[in-house]
Structure 1
Amino acid sequence: MESVLQAFLSAVPQATAIWLTILLALAVAVAAAAVPRGVHAPEPATEENRFAALLEAEAAEAAEAAARRRAEWLAAQQAVDETWAAYEQASETTRRMAATTAFPLMSRRRKPGDNIDRQRYLHRAATELCRTQDLSIAQLNDVFAHRGWNPRLHPVQQEAALYNAVREHRFEAYRQAVETERAAWRGAEAAAETLRGLRADAAAARLRGPEAEQADQRRTEQWTPTELPAAA
């Protein structure tokens, strides 16, 4: 009886070890099955891709700058359309006013205060047009100084001259808007070209091996800003 009991007790540790081994193998198999296929743990940042990451950060900043330049160009383009529409409207008004002065006005003896009234009308009308930005400040100063303006003309003639000045002012605004739009276009194109270059450099840096990047870094460190080789 004692020999049977001793044999049983001596076999218990071996059986326990076998069962623990089986359970551990099952746990490993279950854990391996739970991991999705094709998913790899992210690689830690290394010295090799630091240069590429720097270029990508610069490209992100360049993308924001390019977006701002494009928005400025679109706003400038809209300003060109608006100033041209205002010029066309001023031109149409000028043509209508010119038609009203095609027929000669009846001449009569002026009353003593007529010239004063006509001058006040000219000043008042010019001030209102300047308030609505149909005349510039410089043009308004010319009106009050009577530089190129005759304050004794009939109000109909004065109004025709005023709207002719409005047309000139609107055309000058259109010309300036065109120049601004062209400058904004050049800025947007330069920003877009910079962005394309940085993105291409970043992609190339990602594709190149670490040895090429280290060689570039060594070449950069060899030349100081005053010793850079001249471009061929």
Structure 2
Amino acid sequence: MDFAVALLVGNSGRVAAIWLALILLAVIAFFALALPRGVHRPRQITAWLAAGAAQRRAEAERRHREAAEAIRYADEITVAARGAANTAERRREECQRAQAAVEDAWQAYQRADATLARARRAAAYGVPDAPLTEQEHADRAQALRRSAQAAYRRGDLSDTQLLDALTHRNGWDPALHPVEQELVLARAAVAHRFSAYQDAIDAEQAAWQASDIATAAVRSLRQEVASAEALAEAARAVLPQSSRPARGARRVAAAA
């Protein structure tokens, strides 16, 4: 009885050993089949394993670089969008100032036009036509100079108009009667104020155009930010936890 049990136990051990040997052979065969063609020797296997490890490291480094680049781009485009938003805000403020300048220029033109209307009514009565003495001519020249300088300080004359008045060119005649001289001055003021009004309108249109461009740039950059942030979030998931940059940290540093 004891002999039979011992025989049975011995047979079971041999069967287990056989199965273990078969499994080991199967693993070795599977591993051999997985090897590339021509790789059978230990050194070749070691080299193949090292090459595979190096390839995996290179692939991991490539993914790391691409992920870091995606995060860096998201940070940079966010800073650019913030700068574009600030620029758009400044452009809107410039539009408001340009609108105010147009209104001021229009009001100044209307005042100059009203002054011209009064000068025309005064000149309609006519002025005495008598020879001037040398002193009267000098007095009128001095009055013209003072009137022109005062009008220039008010903004009613341009630099060129003031120079013409002081040098008695382009219709500025010191021999004219004060009433006629006032009419010449009023006409020059209207011409200058209307030109300034037109310049203000042009500046306002340019300001609105610049504002529209800045606003469109903000919309475009915000769309780009949304796409870049989505890619950056996916990139952060690829990176190891220890090497993930804090969200917004680099962005704040770049903005500073």
Q: Place the TM-score, normalised by the shorter chain, in its bin.
A: 0.5 to 0.7
> Greater helix percent: which structure?
2
Bigger drift between 107-116 and 180-189 goes to 107-116
State the Cα distance separating 1:52 from its structure 2 match.
3.0
Aligned to 1:114: 136
Select which of 218, 226, 229 maps to 1:195. 218
Show structure 1 runs of 5+ residues with no match: 1-44, 215-232
Identity of aligned residues (%): 38
8 Å contact kept, 1:48–1:210: no
Aligned to 1:24: none
State the Cα distance separating 1:206 from its structure 2 match.
3.3
Q: Deviations over 1:66-123 (max 9, x none)?
A: 1111111211121111111101111111011101111122344544522221111111
Q: Return the letter of the residue paired with 1:98.
A: R
State the Cα distance separating 1:55 from its structure 2 match.
2.2
Select which of 197, 207, 210 maps to 2:234. 210
Count of residue correspondences:
168
Q: Return the letter of the residue paired with 1:170.
A: R
| Alpha-carbon distance between aligned partners in 2 of 1:168 and 1:58, rounded to the nearest angstrom | 45
Q: TM-score, normalised by structure 1?
A: 0.65
| Alpha-carbon distance between aligned partners in 2 of 1:182 and 1:51, rounded to the nearest angstrom | 35
Q: Deviations over 1:176-210 (max 9, x none)?
A: 11222222222111111111101011123334573
Is residue 102 from structure 1 mapped to residue 134 from structure 2 by the alignment? Answer: no
Larger Rg: 2
Select which of 139, 157, 163 maps to 1:135. 157
| Alpha-carbon distance between aligned partners in 1 of 2:115 and 2:214, rounded to the nearest angstrom | 42
Select which of 149, 173, 183 maps to 2:196. 173
8 Å contact kept, 2:109–2:197: yes
Q: Deviations over 1:152-172 (max 9, x none)?
A: 111011011101111111111
> What value does the CA root-mean-square deviation take over the aligned residues?
2.4
Q: For residues 48 and 108 of structure 1, do their structure 2 counterparts lie closer, same or farther at Cα, with a shift above 3 Å needed?
A: closer
| Alpha-carbon distance between aligned partners in 2 of 1:92 and 1:153, rounded to the nearest angstrom | 22
Give 1:1-232 correspondences, 5 Å limit. 49-108=71-130, 110-147=132-169, 148-207=171-230, 210=234
Give 3-state SS (helix, strand or coil) of 2:126's partner.
coil
| Alpha-carbon distance between aligned partners in 1 of 2:131 and 2:140, rounded to the nearest angstrom | 14
Q: TM-score, normalised by structure 2?
A: 0.60
Q: Return the letter of the residue paired with 2:191.
A: E
